[in-house]
Structure 1
Amino acid sequence: MTAHLTEPSRSTPIADVADVVVCGAGPAGIAAAIAAARTGAKTRLLEVHGCLGGVWTAGALSWIIEATRTGIMGEIIEALDRRGARADGAQVNFGYDVEVMKLVLEEMVRDAGISVQLHTRVVGVDRDATNRITTVITESKSGRQAWQGAVFIDTTGDGDVAAQAGCRFDYGHPDTGQTQPMTLMALVTGIQLDQVHPFVAGGAWPRTGAAHNARTRFRNGRDALLYELRRSGLEPSYQGPSLWSIYDDLFALMANHEYGVSALDANAITHATINARAEIHRLISGLRTLGGVWSQIRLVATSAQIGVREGRRIHGRYHITVDDLRNGTQHHDAVCRITSGADVHALTRAEGGFLSPTTAPLQDSATAAQEVAPIQPYDIPLRALIARDIDGLLMAGRCISGDFLAHASYRPTGYAVVMGQAAGTAAALAAATGALPHELPWSKVKTAIDKLAGTQHPRHAITPQPVG
């Protein structure tokens, strides 16, 4: 039985009143805030970490999947290219410099006129008598603060705002409740690309190297790195360890899995983070003992935030299912087209590496990393981004409304940016007109989304430069 403390009532100061309040500044939240501000809304952005970008930066992901060259994602790509901070020039999947990404996002948010507060966690929600969200409550070094708005967007990844508002949600595998493992990213140096490229799964390619096939490189590099780790006497918790080259002498490492960890349990996440960091140090030390190309390898940093693949999937006004993947479902209010398969990492260490046997009954329709039959391209409708159980709340990113396998398909961060851009645009229109998001005529939302997607901010419409 859990003991409880009854706190006395208190008066919480209202820190700000905005048209749109965006909670969470990861890839979806950044795009949502910029889109809302550019559509004319006074926008407030709240973020728990000390930088913008979420898993891109605090999570040191260093690898973006399913990016587009249009809209806000296109601007981010061009800003990275201007600084020579994007590896190999690929347009869909690419590595990037985490520190430059932080700066790029800060500049874009500042130029859009968005008010930001970092180091701030949402801990509560208030609603009015009509079931409309009116306020989020935060805790920070400034104490407890309230932030009021006309429309709110949950881009926390785990659906924290929606859950605090009492929204229903799904979590994990529908039969077992298991979730995909977490991963702590690392940045390493002391190795040179022209020497270790056979072990590299993606990113920059040696300047003197021959042309390569990305899929072949991914598989060969992953298998070769696993062989090296085993040669050092170690068995990584992730059977598909991967190095991504950012520069000739800087690499990102994804080599661990933490299984059975709930994204809703701070104590469990704490232990997972500590375990993962210890494993990364062991793996780096193991590679160093091999000598040769590994003799000077050094760990630069581990991410501040462990990478969470699955959190809450908030119930929306449309629920995306595996049948949408099977059938290539199209919607009149489509905000994003998904073309990738269901990327399901093994749910237990006993299963080994990448493909989870739990998906076997559906392998005729959905795939893990597209290893079986490809899916049919399908749409994400705006309705899946609008909370069902409370008014005035949108979601974007991996916490939108969908089932286990659909989520594994639409969760890449490139898609999160497109969803965020749509959610931010819709939120701004709702705030300007006094309508609730689900009441907006789709024709007006689509016109505004298309206008924003086709218009680059002058500061960021820069001719790409080669990576240096």
Structure 2
Amino acid sequence: MKYIGDYDVIVAGGGTAGSVAAISAARMGMKVLIVEQMGFLGGTATASLVTPLMSNGIKGNPDNSSIGREINERLVATGDAYPDNPSWFNPEALKYVLEDMCMAAGVRLLYYSTVTDVIMEGNSIKGVVIHNKDGFSAVHGRVVIDCTGDGDVAALAGVPYESGRVSDGKNQPVSVRFEVGNIQLDVFADFLNEIGYNGMKGDRVEIASVWGRNWPLEKIFREAVKSGYILEQDGAYFQAFTIPGKPGCMSFNCPEISNITRALDPYNLTYAQVEGKKAIMRLHKFMKKYFAGFQNSYICNTAVNVGIRESRRIKGKYYLKVDDYINCTKFDDAVARTAYPIDIHAVDSEGLQLKYLPEGEYMEIPYRCMVPCNVENLLVAGRCISASFEVQASIRIQVTCRALGEAAGIAAALSIEEEITTGDLNGVKVRKIMRDRGIFI
């Protein structure tokens, strides 16, 4: 097996958390490598086309991540995010912004590569084995940050984990998102206002429909099901947004593939892609028929990755519970805050479930949730941190994952500087640096 180098920090996965983690550590003087399976950064945001960013739910939507704020500012500067609401962004432009920021920070990028094994010395991780078209290679790192979203490195290292509901192991549904171009948005906005929406304008449109909520589009969906244009399942969850920087284009947070119970099974993911594309074709045909302004539209992009909401969740030094959410628990070593609801998509017949905190309240996420309980010098950032199924449904959004990535990069650098393990590092120090960077934490 080839040996390809030593790094201070290895980041597995260059997605929402990983790209920020790498930038964070590199800006603190660390030699950083990102191992990324795609040929670009951004993960869920770019490969799965997940836009816009959901708000953290805290009044004023204060910044969770200084690097996340910088990303938004760069997108606004190029017209690829709305100045008054940079949460709405152009996924294609984000690829370029993240890559530019990583290169400027001195991050080494290794695309088209996947971590397949870990190099252990006792209970401490010393590096990873990667695979790409050139074969298998070993790379050593003083700290490894698992930002795969699915806890892949942690699982390989023997970290215990959960996946799905504790009662039956079912994961939340996955989605295959897509974009439609050449929409006459002014015409479409007028149509929406006529059927019951208020104040829609052509440059910014947001629509949604689920069965049983009596939202304005539901009647149209019912008619289309009856006429055979779409299936009953196509109307279970429908959501779409305009995209800054892409005039006449909308991003669709659907179709949702709800009959998959194991989100990491490759056969299930293949099924999701195949059935997702069939549903996309049905939905587009339906919209061309029933939505004014869509008559000359076309499908211009389909997500290359299935959008996974929840899979593995590691067991860490602290395990976030439902009581922590309900009681708005605060922690000395908190590295992120959120009031985003517990947002569980239809695992079964119960349908979409939302649980909100009282206005003005929020929950904090401690550094210890990113520290595995039995492996040293491994950190986990993103949606697969140590949390229950229910709480993960709140902390999985991108603004929170960016904050966790930034914190992981800081923690990796501090532990190396202090010559201690990531498990021995006091998370209060991480919090202080995030505050010094101007973050509400």
Provide the TM-score with structure 1 as the length reference: 0.83
CA–CA distance in 2 between the matches of 1:242 and 1:288?
Answer: 16
Per-residue deviation, residues 3-33 of structure 1 (Å, max 9, x unmatched): xxxxxxxxx2121210010101111111111
Cα contact 1:158–1:263 (8 A) shared by 2: no
The residue number in structure 2 matching 1:412 is 397
CA–CA distance in 2 between the matches of 1:375 and 1:443?
Answer: 24
User: Structure 1 pair 291/176, CA: closer, same or farther in 2 (3 Å)?
Assistant: closer
* Superposition deviation, residue 44 in structure 1: 0.6
Matched, 1:196 2:181: no
Identity of aligned residues (%): 31
Letter in 2 for 1:71: S
Correspondent of 1:158 among 143, 150, 159: 150
Cα contact 1:315–1:387 (8 A) shared by 2: yes
Cα contact 1:330–1:379 (8 A) shared by 2: yes
The residue number in structure 1 matching 2:250 is 251
Matched, 1:237 2:230: no
User: Structure 1 pair 298/15, CA: closer, same or farther in 2 (3 Å)?
Assistant: same
The residue number in structure 1 matching 2:71 is 76
The residue number in structure 1 matching 2:59 is none
The count of residues paired between Structure 1 and Structure 2 equals 419
CA–CA distance in 2 between the matches of 1:133 and 1:127?
Answer: 5
Matched, 1:127 2:130: no
Instruction: Give the SS at the match of 1:146.
Output: strand
Letter in 2 for 1:318: Y
Cα contact 1:261–1:269 (8 A) shared by 2: no
Matched, 1:169 2:136: no
Instruction: Give the SS at the match of 2:174.
Output: coil
CA–CA distance in 1 between the matches of 2:203 and 2:414?
Answer: 51
CA–CA distance in 1 between the matches of 2:147 and 2:36?
Answer: 10
CA–CA distance in 1 between the matches of 2:186 and 2:367?
Answer: 46
Matched, 1:400 2:385: yes
Matched, 1:284 2:284: yes
* Superposition deviation, residue 39 in structure 1: 1.2
* Superposition deviation, residue 311 in structure 1: 0.9
Cα contact 2:44–2:307 (8 A) shared by 1: yes
CA–CA distance in 2 between the matches of 1:290 and 1:331?
Answer: 51
Cα contact 2:186–2:201 (8 A) shared by 1: yes
Per-residue deviation, residues 254-274 of structure 1 (Å, max 9, x unmatched): 231112242221111111111
CA–CA distance in 2 between the matches of 1:250 and 1:227?
Answer: 24
Cα contact 2:209–2:235 (8 A) shared by 1: no
Per-residue deviation, residues 291-345 of structure 1 (Å, max 9, x unmatched): 7422112111110001000110001100000000111111110101111110111
CA–CA distance in 2 between the matches of 1:81 and 1:172?
Answer: 37
Instruction: Give the SS at the match of 2:234.
Output: coil
Cα contact 2:209–2:218 (8 A) shared by 1: no
Cα contact 1:25–1:53 (8 A) shared by 2: yes
Matched, 1:333 2:333: yes
CA–CA distance in 1 between the matches of 2:42 and 2:158?
Answer: 27
The residue number in structure 2 matching 1:140 is 132
User: Structure 1 pair 27/412, CA: closer, same or farther in 2 (3 Å)?
Assistant: same
CA–CA distance in 1 between the matches of 2:125 and 2:296?
Answer: 54
Letter in 2 for 1:191: I
Letter in 2 for 1:251: M
Cα contact 1:125–1:164 (8 A) shared by 2: yes
Provide the TM-score with structure 2 as the length reference: 0.88
The residue number in structure 2 matching 1:20 is 9
Matched, 1:446 2:438: no
Cα contact 2:169–2:261 (8 A) shared by 1: no
Cα contact 1:135–1:148 (8 A) shared by 2: yes
Matched, 1:390 2:375: yes
CA RMSD of aligned residues (A): 2.6
Correspondent of 1:181 among 173, 179, 193: 173
Letter in 2 for 1:63: P
* Superposition deviation, residue 376 in structure 1: 4.3
Alignment map for 1:300-339 (pairs within 5 Å): 300-339=300-339
Where does the alignment leave 5 or more consecutive residues of structure 2 unmatched? 57-61
Q: Which stretch of structure 1 is more off in the superposition, 317-326 or 279-288? A: 279-288
User: Structure 1 pair 28/415, CA: closer, same or farther in 2 (3 Å)?
Assistant: same
Matched, 1:109 2:109: no
Instruction: Give the SS at the match of 1:272.
Output: helix
User: Structure 1 pair 321/375, CA: closer, same or farther in 2 (3 Å)?
Assistant: farther
Cα contact 2:76–2:83 (8 A) shared by 1: no
Alignment map for 1:207-222 (pairs within 5 Å): none
